[in-house]
A and B are shown apart, each in its own frame.
Chain A
Amino acid sequence: MPSSTELKQRIETTLTGSTAQVEDLTGGGNHFRAEVVSDHFAGLSRIEQHRLVYDVFGDEIGGPIHALSIKTSTPPGGDT
């Protein structure tokens, strides 16, 4: 069962230089919310930004990770 710590680490490892805050919404290890701040999002549409985060987990979304709610932003002062 995935944990919020595991999700956080995987996001931060794949999207290098990003900061992620991950919360387990139900405590059951399957509904998560992730707030991700990353330079990788600069110049991308919201859809593309969210796809980058979904791509970290591939087929696990809809599988072990039933739901992943995402909020993305770029670091303050960076290009958006």
Chain B
Amino acid sequence: MTNEEIRDFIDKAIGENRVMLFMKGTPQQPACGFSARTAGALNALGVKFTALDILPDPRIREELSGLSGWPTIPQLFLDGELIGGADIVAEMYETGELAEKMGAEQPPEPEAAVAATTPEQKAPPMQLENRLS
């Protein structure tokens, strides 16, 4: 796959999926605490989303960051627009802003679901991240 093909693929993924999450690992098996937290917030809201694991090829991250102008992973897009990374998504989740934007219902205990997988409590696996540096 050429870099252009990767970029086109990412561009298409952002354009065709209403809620698109680029993350390390998968929602079932996140490979980083920040990615886990972000997928967790979406799951807590019951939002349907498409997730792409950026780890299999380092060029995915390079091309994605080139497109979005955002240096870190995860990156959440809604209707083709960058919403933010893990911190912004967590902040918006806590204020109820994320639920509002997604058209979802805020669960009764906003802290509980997200707090369970904060990176402070669960250190990301370094060996996976090192592949990208």
> In this assembly, does B66 line the interface, its C-beta being within 8 Å of a C-beta of chain A?
no
Q: Which of A46, A62, A63 contacts B88 (CB 8 A)?
A: A46
> In this assembly, does B109 line the interface, its C-beta being within 8 Å of a C-beta of chain A?
no
Complexed CA–CA distance, A68 and B124 (Å): 13
Expressed in whole angstroms, the minimum distance between the Cβ of B19 and any Cβ of chain A is 17
Q: Which of A51, A54, A67 contacts B34 (CB 8 A)?
A: A67
Q: Which of A31, A51, A54, A70 contacts B119 (CB 8 A)?
A: A31
Given contacts A50-B88, A69-B87, contact A25 B71 (CB under 8 A): no
Expressed in whole angstroms, the minimum distance between the Cβ of A11 and any Cβ of chain B is 15
Expressed in whole angstroms, the minimum distance between the Cβ of A46 and any Cβ of chain B is 5
Q: Which of B84, B123, B124, B129 contacts A50 (CB 8 A)?
A: B84
User: What sequence of 0s and 1s flags, for each residue 67-99 of chain B, a beta carbon within 8 Å of any chain A beta carbon?
Assistant: 001111000000000111111100110000000
Question: How many residues of chain A have a CB within 8 Å of chain B?
Answer: 18
Given contacts A51-B70, A62-B61, A67-B34, contact A46 B123 (CB under 8 A): no
Q: For chain A, what secondary structure do more than half of its interface residues adopt (helix, strand, loop), or is it mixed?
A: mixed
Q: Which of B69, B72, B84, B86 contacts A62 (CB 8 A)?
A: B72
> In this assembly, does B132 line the interface, its C-beta being within 8 Å of a C-beta of chain A?
yes
B70/A26 in contact, CB under 8 A: no
Q: Which of B34, B61, B71, B83 contacts A69 (CB 8 A)?
A: B34
Complexed CA–CA distance, A69 and B85 (Å): 9
B88/A68 in contact, CB under 8 A: no
B119/A69 in contact, CB under 8 A: yes
> In this assembly, does B120 line the interface, its C-beta being within 8 Å of a C-beta of chain A?
yes
Complexed CA–CA distance, A67 and B34 (Å): 9
Q: Nearest 3 A-B pairs (CB), nearest first?
A: A61-B71, A46-B88, A54-B71
